Amino acid sequence: MSEDDDARSPAEVVRFPQSRTAPPASVGGYKDLGIGAMARHLNMRESQMTGHWCSPCNGMWFGYAFEVECPQCGNRHG
């Protein structure tokens, strides 16, 4: 590792387009958008699922960790 690697500023980090997003701070609760298709297919238990935020729906859906598509609107960008 060089000194240049240590001096890298956070502004130089490029985020993956489908990286996780956090709900807006103003959201008091969330709308339950259901369960993702892969989690339903695998018959996953609730304890095995993770939550995913959907900005267009202003809600959260639950599913397999690697699922990216909202079951309500099909959004794939958090």
The tokens describing 10, both together, are: 């956070």
Instruction: Print the domain residue range for 53.
Output: 29-68
Q: What is the C-alpha to C-alpha distance for residues 63 and 16, in angstroms, rounded to an integer?
A: 20
Is residue 17 in some structural domain? no
Q: Output the pTM of the full model.
A: 0.63
Instruction: Assess if residue 57 is contained within a domain.
Output: yes
Residue 64 in domain: yes
Return the residue matching tokens 């103003």: 26
Whether 6 is in a domain gets the answer no
Residues 6+ apart with CB under 8 A from 19: 78
Q: What is the mean pLDDT of the chain?
A: 80
**Coil vs helix vs strand at 66:** coil
Task: Determine, yes or no, domain membership for 76.
Answer: no
Task: Give a yes or no: residue 40 inside a domain.
Answer: yes
Structural domain count, the chain: 1
10 found inside a domain: no
Residues facing residue 4 across a β-bridge: none
What pLDDT is attached to residue 13? 63
pLDDT class for 43, splitting at 50, 70, 90?
very high
Please state the rounded mean pLDDT for residues 16-38: 72
Does 59 map to a domain?
Answer: yes
pLDDT at 38 over 70: yes
